[in-house]
């Protein structure tokens, strides 16, 4: 387990980028943290690390956005899902066990279907406004 403190959104982006550079086919990154914690900021960094050229936006309303980089990037935001059955309807297995990298915002809401060996990234606010404590571990 690793704990890192970032002092602004750029540092969170850079941490995401650092990890994105090292991701391999089949990797699943699970992001946990409140609204505004920095999950999307971190995801944008992952995209940069994966050499995605398109601008990454939050897929809150679409549940999933797909990008093309060094590897395909499947960016989920499951905040608005009512249950994991909706993930089945989306055909999530094609993405989770596919040819790319998966990033899931609010992954704790669907933890039943997250495979072992996923990379869990938990982002918490601290007492200082633009500071975040980021914990990274493999399940
Ligand atoms: P989430 O996807 O978790 O809801 P976002 O990444 O969309 O969160 O938004 C995070 C917000 O917090 C942004 O407005 C960003 O500018 C702000 N912020 C402040 N400090 C940080 C930090 N250290 N890391 C990430 N975001 C930060
Ligand atoms: Mg978000």
Using one digit for the tens of pLDDT, what is the confidence trace for 33-64?
999 999 999 999 999 999 999 999 988 888 99
The answer, yes or no, to whether residue 126 has pLDDT greater than 90, is yes
Tell me the domains of the chain and their CATH numbers. 2-138 (3.40.50.300)
Percent pLDDT > 70 in the chain is: 100
What is the reported pLDDT for 93?
Answer: 97
Radius of gyration of the chain (CA): 14
Q: How far, in Å, CA of 3 to CA of 104, rounded?
A: 20
**Going by C-beta distance under 8 Å and a sequence separation of 6 or more, which residues neighbour residue 6?**
12, 15, 38, 131, 132, 134
Provide the CB-side half-sphere exposure for 87 (13 A, CA).
Answer: 21
Residues with Cβ–ion distance below 5 A, ligand 2: 39-40, 58, 105
Using one digit for the tens of pLDDT, what is the confidence trace for 85-98?
999 999 999 999 99
Would you place residue 1 in the very low, low, confident or very high pLDDT band (cuts 50, 70, 90)?
A: confident
Pairing of strands 119-125, 132-138: antiparallel
Instruction: Please provide residue 95's backbone torsions phi and psi, each rounded to the nearest 5 degrees.
Output: -85, -45
Task: Give the atom of ligand 1 at the shortest distance from the alpha carbon of 31.
Answer: 3
pTM score > 0.85 for this model?
Answer: yes
Q: Is the CB of 115 under 6 A from ligand 1?
A: no
Residue having the nearest C-alpha atom to atom 24 of ligand 1? 9
Q: How far, in Å, CA of 134 to CA of 124, rounded?
A: 6
Using one digit for the tens of pLDDT, what is the confidence trace for 61-112?
889 999 999 999 999 999 999 889 999 999 999 999 999 999 999 999 999 9
């Amino acid at each position: 387990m690793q704990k890192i403190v970032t002092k602004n959104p750029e540092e969170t982006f850079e941490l995401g980028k650092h990890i994105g550079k090292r991701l391999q086919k089949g990797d699943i990154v699970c992001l946990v943290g409140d609204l505004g914690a920095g999950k999307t900021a971190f995801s944008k960094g992952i995209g940069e690390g994966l050499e995605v050229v398109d601008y990454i936006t939050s897929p809150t309303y679409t549940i999933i956005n797909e990008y093309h980089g060094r590897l395909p990037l499947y960016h989920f935001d499951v905040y608005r899902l009512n249950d994991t059955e909706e993930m089945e309807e989306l055909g999530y297995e094609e993405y989770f066990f596919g040819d790319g990298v998966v990033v899931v915002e609010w992954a704790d809401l669907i933890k039943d279907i997250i495979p072992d060996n996923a990379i869990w990234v938990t982002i918490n606010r601290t007492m200082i406004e633009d500071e975040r404590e980021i914990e990274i571990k493999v399940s």
